[in-house]
Amino acid sequence: MVTGGIPKVVETRTRGRPMRTRQRGTRALGVLIGAIALTLVGVPDEVRADDETPGDRNDWLGALNAFRAAGGLDPVEEEPAWLDSLEAGGRYVVEENHFTHYPDEDSEYYSEAAAEGLHSNLITPARSPATSIEGWIGSPGHAANALHPTLERVAYLGYKDEDSADITSVALLDVMRGRDGSPPGEPLLWPADEARVPLRDSGDSWKLDGCESEGFFAVVYPSGDGEADVASTSWVDADGEEVAHCATRDLLDIDGGPRGEWPSAAFVGTEEPLEFGREYELEVRLESGEELSSTFEIAWPSEVDGYPAPFPKPKWAEPEAELEVREREPDAVVVERPDVEGLRGLEVVVDGEARRAPFVLDDISISGLEPDTEHHIELVALAEDGSPVPGPAGSVTTPPEPETHRHAAEERVGTALEVADEAFPDGADTVVLVSGEDAADALAATPLAAAVDAPLLLTRAGSDGTLEPAVRDAVEALGADEALVVGGDAVVGPSVVDNLDAAGLDVARLAGSDRFATAALVADEVADRGGSTDDALLAASDPGDPDAGWPDVLGAGPYAALDEPTPILLTAPERLPDATREAVADRGTVEVVGGTGVVDEGVAAELTALGADVTRLAGADRYETNRHLVEAAIAAGADGDVVWLASGNGFADGLAAGAAAAQTGGVVALVQGDEPSWTGATRQWLLDEEPQAVHVVGGPTAVAPELVDALRPDRP
């Protein structure tokens, strides 16, 4: 029971997962959400306040009564006899992990609460009973209930986590009834005559269609016959000037509800804010022809009928504190809203321009900023009369707008040349040439290109082909005097070597009896050129499945190319080939790239038996594996602000991108390039990290423009 006006607080724990409350634009609350209950019922004509006002003895009741007094209404009193019913309602919300206006008829909550005709209508976080009431009457539907002329008795019950010292949320239970206990038989209008407080909007979820302001009125009428529906409205100020307002929005229409005939309510809002200290006259015509009118003044006195002001002037906990920035984007930042007592409105002043902000959120998002610019930001609390109370301030510099470049030609050979031109603007002494048609021998080439500071060029010249003129011209433009050809005659024909030799280059071919032996030869060359002799990456390549393994290797290139380039060796999916076994025999560490579906655990066991320290880097699919490779490369020193974006559906563009990323210090991110609606791990990483330079490798059929746009949905 409640004694002396102090609300009862019941400690409880939820069954199963904790209930969470979500608000648009903010993170879900990570604490247990409990319930506090308030019930409102009909009253006799006369209400007497004690000599000691509720505001003196009980903050939550004082806040409620001050709100009613400012609306020209009588105060209400506590009714301790209702606590058992309210406890059942709060317990239902907490234990069932469920919130409902109307509980099931077989629930304990229904049976205990139905006698009072209760229904719950709000759950919202609150730090204290008083702030829970403030939040409640700050929303239009609940403010209308709080200002009901026939209201007399209320009860309040708190719930909290047994491990928490604070009440963490509020559920309000209310019923509007006439003095005889029945729903109102006549339409009612708020604000009522002589009222001095408007109803207020509390956020986007309550915005009336087309309304941008915070002033509006409510009409409550019997539901069911339609004759009480609002037909027209007129709203003028004291000078007779019409106040532009929005169309009626029905918020409550509970015809034949579970506990009898309930009233309906309609709300009409102004298109411009109402002015404090100004008188307004409101007229409403119903479908029945009945007219309602009210004259009221917008004011917020410091004291009303002996009750203290329900919302005192806001007070920042640390008014001199510096602004704390949570996130930065080129055109937006997110700042923390510190604790402030008595907050009724919030402005964010950006470079001298004030903007209204939602004050119910802990983090405030500020958009529309200039990239790469220093902005001065100040948080300003607003008192009920609109007067400002300055809070934390500081300067925030936004990052520059990310640059996006597409490197593409009509086909893959030309695309590789475009990439080389971007990554090697000053030329290169050496070029690495691989087949653009067969991935097998080419997969091990990226660490070699990194070891010799070379671009990786492609050719489609097979066993009987010659070097493409565009490739020959690019080699000359780069100023190269050495060419390393990776792969045998079957994939890069002899005529290609002859063409390079005729152009005056020193040419060396690295080719083994099969793809595994070729990778082993490349590993030796990497070591001879200053690469690692102790470490190796191992990826799958299956002669019977051209698509096996290479997606994992594409992202591994930049990771393998850092500092001391690490060779990439190849293995069959379920066995370690002899050439690879010999190549890893003297290496202390081998990192397997790809999951057990591409490199079997038996292969890892063979490596361990050879004395190698074996680790595995893998994800659920090629894109998640690629994300892990990107993160590992960044952890090892790669620049996450430079990303080379290539399709995960083909190997050619990714090979060229790998060498370019090694040269520029960036990483290669694979995307499902032909599917603009993809939502893979790479996309999430890009959205989270927001790199400053994105190089798209391949044309629109390889990496769709819609996909690139989708990486930053909030950017033009």
CATH of the domain at 295: 2.60.40.3780
Segment holding 69, helix H or strand E = helix 59-70
Extract the tokens encoding 326.
């949570």
- Strand pairing category for 8-12 and 151-161: parallel
Three-class SS of residue 582? helix
Residues 449 and 547 in one domain: yes
Residue 215 lies in a domain: yes
Domain end, chosen from 397, 432, 449, is at 397
Residue ranges of the chain with pLDDT lower than 70? 1-60, 63, 70-72, 79, 81-145, 147-151, 155-235, 238, 244-277, 286, 296-312, 344, 358-361, 384-386, 546-549, 673-681, 683, 710-716
Neighbours of 229 (CB within 10 A): 18
State the first-to-last Cα distance of the chain, in angstroms, to the nearest integer. Answer: 59
User: What pLDDT was estimated at residue 400?
Assistant: 82
Q: Is 472 in the same domain as 549?
A: yes
Q: Which residues of 642-658 are buried (b: 16+ CB within 10 A; e: fewer)?
A: bbbbbbbbbbbbbbbbb
The answer to the question of residue 642 being in a domain is no
- Any domain includes 683: no
Segments forming the whole domain that contains residue 543: 411-633
- Based on the fold, state whether residues 270 and 341 are members of the same structural domain: no
| Element spanning 557, H or E | helix 550-560
Assess whether 483 and 594 both reside in one domain: yes
d(CA 154, CA 148): 12
Distance CA 131, CA 169 (A): 10
Residue 682 CA to residue 703 CA, distance in Å, equals: 13
Is 654 among the domain residues?
Answer: no
- Does 165 share its domain with 194? no
Distance, CA of 395 to CA of 201 (rounded, Å): 31
Of 633, 648, 666, the residue at which a domain comes to its end is 633
Residues in the chain: 716
Residue 708 falls within a domain, yes or no? no
Chosen domain end from 156, 182, 208:
182
Residue type, 526: V
pLDDT at position 423 is: 94
* pLDDT (0 to 100) of residue 119: 42
Classify residue 711: in a domain, yes or no.
Answer: no
123 plus 51 within the same structural domain: yes
263 shares its domain with 327: no
Is residue 673 situated within a structural domain? no
Q: 261 and 113, same structural domain?
A: no
Residues 600 and 622 in one domain: yes
Question: Does 694 reside within a domain?
Answer: no
Do 551 and 584 share a domain, yes or no? yes
CATH number (domain holding residue 33): 3.40.33.10
- My answer on whether 246 and 336 are in the same domain is no
My answer on whether 569 and 589 are in the same domain is yes
H or E element, residue 240: none
* Cα-based distances in Å from 92 to 10, 99, 265, 520, 554: 13, 8, 27, 68, 55
Number of domains in the chain: 4
